[in-house]
Amino acid sequence: AMTESRTVEVARDHPSFAGHFPGDPLWPGVLLLAEALEAIAASPGLAAAVGDAPRLAVAKFLSPVRPGTRLCIEVEAAAAGIDFRIVDADDPARLCAEGRFARATVSRP
């Protein structure tokens, strides 16, 4: 199966932390999804598998991501789309998020 992984560091001063949440900064789930999509887009084969309008089929947010966390994003071709796993790069047993993007089913006139 086609698999890609990349490591990203969550900036300690990312603007999203200011409002999410004051005194208890938490990386928003939508930004985790964006990182997974970036990893998919970086691989032409995986990007082609979901097309240019991928649909989020499943997402589970399992562990909070704090400022300065290094994340390892793993994406893998699966029968129903592209599976993703996001783990703490410094503690790989800590799964932060997982899910699947599927090819968008768009009916054209």
Distances in whole angstroms, Cα of residue 95 to Cα of each of 42, 62, 75:
22, 6, 14
Q: Is 47 helix (H, G, I), strand (E, B) or coil?
A: helix
Whole-number Å distance between alpha carbons of 21 and 17: 6
Convert the pLDDT of each residue in 57-96 to its tens digit: 999 999 999 999 999 999 999 888 999 999 999 999 999 9
Query: Which pTM was predicted?
Result: 0.90
Q: Is pLDDT of 107 > 60?
A: no
